[in-house]
Amino acid sequence: MTTPARPVSDAPLTSQPWRHVAPSRMAAWDADAGRPVSWAEFHGRIGAWQRRLDALDALDGPGQRWLLHCRCPREFAAALLALWTRGDSAVLPADERPETLGALAAECRAALGDIPDGLVADATPSSPRWGPLAPARLAVSLYTSGSTGEPRRIDKTFAQLDAELAAHARLWPLEGRLVISQVSHQHIYGLLFGILRPLCEDAPLAGAACRTPETLGAWLGRLADAPMAPPGAVLVSAPPPLERLPETGLPPAATDRLARVHSSGAPLSATASAHARRVLGAPVEEIYGSSETGGIAWRDQQRDEAWTPLPGVEVRADDAGGLWLRSPYLASPGWQPQADRIAPGPAGFRLLGRADRIAKVGGKRLSLSGLERRLARHPDVLRAHALPLPGRPHRLGAVLQLATAALPWCREARRARVAELRDALSTAYPVSLMPRHWRFVATWPRNAQGKLGAAEVARLFRDLDDPRRPRWLGVEKDGPAACRVTLEVPERLSYLAGHFPEQPVVPGVVMVQWAVALAEEHLALAGEFRGLERVRFPQPLLPGERATLELALEPPAEGPRLAFTLTGRRGCHARGRVRLAPGEVGHGR
Amino acid sequence: MSTPLEHELKQLIIETLELEDTTPEDIDPDAPLFGEGLGLDSIDALELGLALQKTYGIQLEAESEEARRHFASLRSLAALVEARRND
């Protein structure tokens, strides 16, 4: 099944090419089954969603806003087209946390998809009804996930999406290849590259999200074998999955099928770019941009480290190196200043990092970037992030990634480390501008977009507001049923008071409670507590001590169990199993 | 060895100012609370003033010379609380 080359439309989205496509052609490819999904089938899904929405408000006029969250790319695309052709727009939550959804639900007609109270279309196909997509109309509202402050709403019109999709189609034509996405389509990059490009360019999208390198290898292998398979694939990825590609690589039969890899969300390191190129056997093309700006520039680091502006995008630097942008993907036509600094070159520009972030702390202006640079001068500090804490605007927090050997493992070591860092700052900063709360991490906490986001920051400092909780310093997942959480015991932990006055320790039952609570958080453990098995507390856990909690869900026949081991520098503090009522163990998100 | 009141004040300071890595034993009753020593700042002085008012009903002008004298060390703070709460 090949696609004849055709001129790229200036209105790839609003011309709605999917209305005229032959019903027998492939809209999606079910990569797990190796089965094509026809446009006739896909049109039936769009119609089913329209029927569901019509049943809800046949009397309300167009212009409704619907909260939409669907993990399945195909269902997401069908729901999106259904509401667009009704004259409505979609509100895409950045994540599925209850507080995120709750805040947005109030401004939406209803929630759609796989979220609590989300409506879904039934299985009966229906003929879709088409309507115009006016370029000036609102298409989607997205939310940024910055590391400070509340998520910000970004509105995109059809004209903005059209401009960006046309540029992508000219630069990187899909030519009927299968689009496999490893990123969330609730964000602009995944929405454009993973959903809208294949719809507009008559290329099939993969039937499901591709989470692991093993799945990717299996799907690409099936492309080579299956009859009626698309003629190759394009991978839409991001730094976190690309950095975690196994060294062993994918079978050559699989990588032969991969034409191109895209990455966005954060710049890839040169090492990660080279590694991905080697393992996947395809060029890695990075896109630099943001939810607000859309795509700004692109590069293939194996050719050149400098970024080339996307077609139609103009970039210049002001005297301080600040990036100014004029782009058809923006809502307004003029030049707009951006927070990044650049160095323009003969063929594009280099990124120099963020412009200074300024905060007002106790009435004084402070450059957070300057404070971070000063902290990063210390030889043990690999990376630093400073910020006024949410809910405590006059107090600074600092997240520091340290070399493993330099991580403080007990109270004395932590006190010495903090004293040393404060001392290093004291020549340049008054006491009131020094961080009060320090979080020392072994690996940089990142969200699915590869950034230290507001949710990660809030998690790192949550113990301040809940004296029953340990200090959380990061999680490493080993698949859906196992993870390792790094913890510290806060001196203010309420359970320490009155245990042994001379030497406070964390009571054993509290360690078990932590294991259950953290398994609920990271492994979606849900189940009634039934009892403990083989629980031991060999070494007391002291205030200020750092420890790693290993958690694993075991689903044996007689009922699920949570195995936990809490280990610190001095040895094992707790281990054992929690027995749960059967049939209620969830899977990690 | 600190008196029960001194211990209580140490805990008040740690709780009010959300000091990490600090237990009552870490606070030297004779060391300065502000600047050097415990490393507290002017915002801490305001918050501590509020906490003293809430807990013991003691009113202090945070910026005053009197407050500076009482906040000099934990021992001087304890002396103030001892004197005022018996009023």
The domain that holds A561 is classified in CATH as 3.10.129.10
- Which of A312, A338, A369 is the C-terminal boundary of a domain? A312
| A195 touches A72 (CB < 8 A) | no
Inform me whether the pLDDT recorded for A585 exceeds 60: no
What predicted TM-score, i.e. pTM, was given to this entire model? Answer: 0.68
Provide the pLDDT confidence category of residue A134 given band limits of 50, 70 and 90: very high
Inform me whether the pLDDT recorded for A587 exceeds 50: no
- Per-residue CA distances from A349 to A75, A290, A339, A344 (Å): 39, 17, 15, 4
| A239 touches A274 (CB < 8 A) | no
* pLDDT score at A212: 84
* pLDDT score at A2: 47
Element (H, E) at A413: helix A411-425
**Whether A362 contacts chain B with CB within 8 A:** yes
- Closest residue, chain B, to A410 (C-alpha): B21
CA atoms within 13 A on the CB side of A243: 14
Same domain, A381 and A409: yes
Same domain, A408 and A370: yes
Name the minimum distance, in Å, from the CA of A354 to any CA of chain B: 30
Inform me whether the pLDDT recorded for A589 exceeds 60: no
- Per-residue CA distances from A98 to A146, A158, A418 (Å): 18, 29, 35
**Whether A390 contacts chain B with CB within 8 A:** no
* Residue A330: inside a domain: no
Separation of alpha carbons A289 and A268, rounded Å:
13
* pLDDT score at A241: 87
User: How far does Cα B1 stand from its chain's mean position?
Assistant: 17
Rounded to 10 degrees, the C-alpha dihedral A211/A269/A248/A588 comes to -30
Q: What single-letter amino acid sits at A514?
A: W
Q: What single-letter amino acid sits at A584?
A: E
Same domain, A291 and A402: no
Range among A140-144, A425-429, B58-62 rated most confident? A140-144
- Which of A434, A463, A492 is the C-terminal boundary of a domain? A463
Nearest 5°: CA angle at A584, between A578 and A587? 90
Q: Is A44 helix (H, G, I), strand (E, B) or coil?
A: helix
Domain that holds residue A56: 17-312
Kindly determine whether residue A544 and residue B41, on different chains, have CB atoms separated by under 8 Å.
no
- Closest residue, chain B, to A395 (C-alpha): B43
Mean per-residue pLDDT, A289-307: 93
Q: Which residues of B touch A (CB under 8 A)?
A: 14-15, 18-23, 26, 34-35, 39-43
Top pLDDT among B24 and A2 is at B24
**Whether A432 contacts chain B with CB within 8 A:** yes
Provide the pLDDT confidence category of residue A460 given band limits of 50, 70 and 90: very high
* Residue A7: inside a domain: no
| A113 touches A74 (CB < 8 A) | no
* Residue A342: inside a domain: no
Q: What pLDDT digit, counting tens, does each position of A243-282 carry?
A: 888 887 777 878 888 999 999 988 898 989 999 999 999 9
- Could you report the predicted ipTM of this complex, rounded to two decimals? 0.79
Separation of alpha carbons A16 and A4, rounded Å:
18
Mean per-residue pLDDT, A397-410: 94
* Residue A558: inside a domain: yes
Count residue pairs from A and B with Cβ separation < 8 A. Answer: 42
Mean per-residue pLDDT, A97-112: 88
By DSSP bridging, strand A258-264 and strand A233-237 are parallel
Same domain, A186 and A211: yes
Kindly determine whether residue B43 and residue A394, on different chains, have CB atoms separated by under 8 Å.
yes
Kindly determine whether residue A491 and residue B18, on different chains, have CB atoms separated by under 8 Å.
no
Same domain, A289 and A390: no
Question: What is the DSSP secondary-structure string of B9-73?
Answer: HHHHHHHHHT-SS--GGGS-TTSBSBSSTT-B-HHHHHHHHHHHHHHH-----TTSHHHHHHTTB
Inform me whether the pLDDT recorded for A46 exceeds 80: yes
Kindly determine whether residue B14 and residue A414, on different chains, have CB atoms separated by under 8 Å.
no
Kindly determine whether residue B43 and residue A491, on different chains, have CB atoms separated by under 8 Å.
no
Top pLDDT among A138 and A210 is at A138
- Closest residue, chain B, to A361 (C-alpha): B43
Q: What is the CA radius of gyration of chain B?
A: 12
Total domain count, chain A: 3
Same domain, A434 and A399: yes
Inform me whether the pLDDT recorded for A4 exceeds 60: no
Same domain, A459 and A508: no
DSSP A307: B
Strand partners of residue A388: A396
Q: Smallest Cβ distance to B23: which of A432, A438, A543? A: A543
Top pLDDT among B43 and A332 is at A332
Tokens encoding B66: 């009197």
Positive or negative, the CA dihedral B3, B8, B9, B13 is positive
Which stretch of A70-79, A358-367, A518-527 has the lowest confidence by average pLDDT? Answer: A358-367
Query: What's the whole-number average pLDDT of chain A?
Result: 89
Q: Is A324 helix (H, G, I), strand (E, B) or coil?
A: strand
* pLDDT score at A126: 95
Provide the pLDDT confidence category of residue A498 given band limits of 50, 70 and 90: low
Q: Smallest Cβ distance to A418: which of B21, B23, B34? A: B21
Question: The domain spanning residue A79 has which CATH number?
Answer: 3.40.50.12780
Kindly determine whether residue B15 and residue A492, on different chains, have CB atoms separated by under 8 Å.
yes
Q: Which of A389, A369, A549 is nearest to A458 (CA)?
A: A389
**For the stretch A24-54, what's the b/e string if a residue is b when 16 or more beta carbons lie within 10 angstroms of its beta carbon?**
ebbbbbebeebebbbbebbbbbbbbbbbbbe
* Residue A425: inside a domain: yes
| A454 touches A145 (CB < 8 A) | yes
Question: The domain spanning residue A381 has which CATH number?
Answer: 3.30.300.30
**For the stretch A295-306, what's the b/e string if a residue is b when 16 or more beta carbons lie within 10 angstroms of its beta carbon?**
bbbbbbbeeeeb
Same domain, A111 and A59: yes
Inform me whether the pLDDT recorded for A3 exceeds 60: no
Question: What is the C-alpha end-to-end distance of chain B, expressed in Å?
Answer: 26
Name the minimum distance, in Å, from the CA of B36 to any CA of chain A: 9
Name the minimum distance, in Å, from the CA of A408 to any CA of chain B: 12
Kindly determine whether residue A436 and residue B23, on different chains, have CB atoms separated by under 8 Å.
no
Name the minimum distance, in Å, from the CA of A547 to any CA of chain B: 16
Kindly determine whether residue A362 and residue B39, on different chains, have CB atoms separated by under 8 Å.
no
Question: What is the DSSP secondary-structure string of A217-261?
Answer: HHHHHHHHHSTT--S-EEEEE-HHHHHT--TT---HHHHTTEEEE
Name the minimum distance, in Å, from the CA of A437 to any CA of chain B: 7
Provide the pLDDT confidence category of residue A511 given band limits of 50, 70 and 90: very high
Top pLDDT among A557 and A545 is at A545
Q: Where are the domains of chain B?
A: 4-85
Q: Which residues of A touch B37 (CB under 8 A)?
A: none
| A74 touches A28 (CB < 8 A) | yes
Q: Which CATH number fits domain B4-85: 1.10.1200.10, 1.10.10.1110, 3.20.20.70, 1.10.10.10?
A: 1.10.1200.10
| A579 touches A561 (CB < 8 A) | yes
Kindly determine whether residue A431 and residue B22, on different chains, have CB atoms separated by under 8 Å.
no
Separation of alpha carbons A100 and A377, rounded Å:
37
Provide the pLDDT confidence category of residue A1 given band limits of 50, 70 and 90: very low
Q: Smallest Cβ distance to A438: which of B20, B40, B41? A: B20
**Whether A438 contacts chain B with CB within 8 A:** yes
Q: Which of A584, A579, A587, A568 is nearest to A516 (CA)?
A: A579
- Closest residue, chain A, to B24 (C-alpha): A491
| A485 touches A547 (CB < 8 A) | no
The residue whose two tokens read 């902290």 is A375
Top pLDDT among A64 and A58 is at A64
Same domain, A420 and A455: yes
Inform me whether the pLDDT recorded for B54 exceeds 80: yes
| A10 touches A134 (CB < 8 A) | no
- Residue A87, class by beta-carbon neighbours within 10 Å (0-12 exposed, 13-18 middle, 19+ buried)? middle
Q: Smallest Cβ distance to B43: which of A362, A490, A543? A: A362
Q: Which residues of B touch A422 (CB under 8 A)?
A: 39
Tokens encoding A421: 């860092």
DSSP A119: B
Inform me whether the pLDDT recorded for A327 exceeds 90: yes
Kindly determine whether residue B14 and residue A415, on different chains, have CB atoms separated by under 8 Å.
no
Separation of alpha carbons A280 and A298, rounded Å:
19
* Residue A265: inside a domain: yes
- Which of A312, A330, A348 is the C-terminal boundary of a domain? A312
Mean per-residue pLDDT, A349-365: 80
Q: Name the strands in the sheet holding A322-326, side by side, starting at the edge strand that comes first in the sequence.
A: A314-317, A322-326, A336-345, A348-354
* Residue A207: inside a domain: yes
Mutation target to probe the A interface, by most A beta carbons within 10 A, among B18, B19, B63 is B18
Same domain, A47 and A107: yes
Positive or negative, the CA dihedral A150, A387, A477, A277 is positive
Q: Which residues of B touch A362 (CB under 8 A)?
A: 41-43
Q: Smallest Cβ distance to A464: which of B18, B34, B40? A: B18
Inform me whether the pLDDT recorded for A588 exceeds 60: no
Kindly determine whether residue B21 and residue A491, on different chains, have CB atoms separated by under 8 Å.
yes
Kindly determine whether residue B20 and residue A432, on different chains, have CB atoms separated by under 8 Å.
no
Rounded to 10 degrees, the C-alpha dihedral A332/A337/A340/A346 comes to 90
Separation of alpha carbons A510 and A270, rounded Å:
44
Q: Is A400 helix (H, G, I), strand (E, B) or coil?
A: strand
User: How far does Cα B49 stand from its chain's mean position?
Assistant: 8
* Residue A260: inside a domain: yes
Mean per-residue pLDDT, A448-464: 87
Q: What percent of chain A has pLDDT over 70?
A: 94
